[in-house]
Amino acid sequence: MSKANLLDRRSVVSSLLKDRKGTIAVGGLGASTYDIAAAGDHDRNLYLWGAMGGAVMIGLGIALAQPKLPVVVVTGDGEMLMGMGSLATVGLQKPGNLSIVVLDNEAYGETCRQVSHTAAAADLVGVARACGISDARAMTTLAEVAAFASTLRDVSSGPRFANVKIDAANLERVLSSRDGTFIVNRIRGSLGFKPI
């Protein structure tokens, strides 16, 4: 695919979260967190602007603790490469309510855009399938993203994995709050739990 035909990351995330209703959205390191915030701040957004490699495991923990609620993790290719072992745990646990979306710009965007392994040999869809996630797909069009988004609220047929090829644009950083206690207490409150 031509680099000129890659998808706009904000359009992808906006499409994924358009009809989210009660979906919990976990944002991975850096840009994916900013993309979730740019799509609209929400009580059920869990922003991880730092924990590289941890987004899928945090999303898995939430999905297992809240099996009746849809959970979507939106992360980047660099973070997914760092946390590939998490896909094996997801494949073993098989939470029906978990969806993982990798925004793949083939670069480590938070550290000066070094080329990531997905630009060459690393096949994240293949890794997800090999780890037992049977619904694993590559997406290159907004129509594919919209079709995938329509499955996110299904809490019984996951886990799902999507690798979306995006452009490498450096966009404005958007974040409602960097206060971890505020973010955790806000999501806890939206789920009916007391603040910590």
Q: What percent of the chain has pLDDT over 70?
A: 90
pLDDT of residue 51: 74
Summarised one tens digit per residue, pLDDT across range 118-142 is 657 889 999 999 999 999 999 999 9
pLDDT of residue 2: 44
DSSP-derived letter for residue 38 is: H
Q: Which of 188, 187, 176, 185 is nearest to 38 (CA)?
A: 176
CB contact at 8 A, 155 and 97: yes
Q: CA 43, CA 90: separation in Å to the nearest integer?
A: 25
Q: CA 3, CA 147: separation in Å to the nearest integer?
A: 23
pLDDT at 85 over 70: yes
pLDDT of residue 1: 44
Summarised one tens digit per residue, pLDDT across range 160-187 is 999 999 887 777 777 777 788 999 999 9
Range with the poorest average pLDDT among 29-38, 90-99, 101-110: 101-110
The per-residue pLDDT of the chain, averaged, comes to: 88
pLDDT at 55 over 80: yes
CB contact at 8 A, 40 and 166: no
175 class by beta-carbon count within 10 Å (0-12 exposed, 13-18 middle, 19+ buried): middle
Q: pLDDT-based confidence at 116, cuts 50/70/90?
A: low
Q: What's the average model confidence in pLDDT over 39-48?
A: 92
Give SS3 for 56.
helix
Summarised one tens digit per residue, pLDDT across range 146-162 is 999 999 999 999 999 99
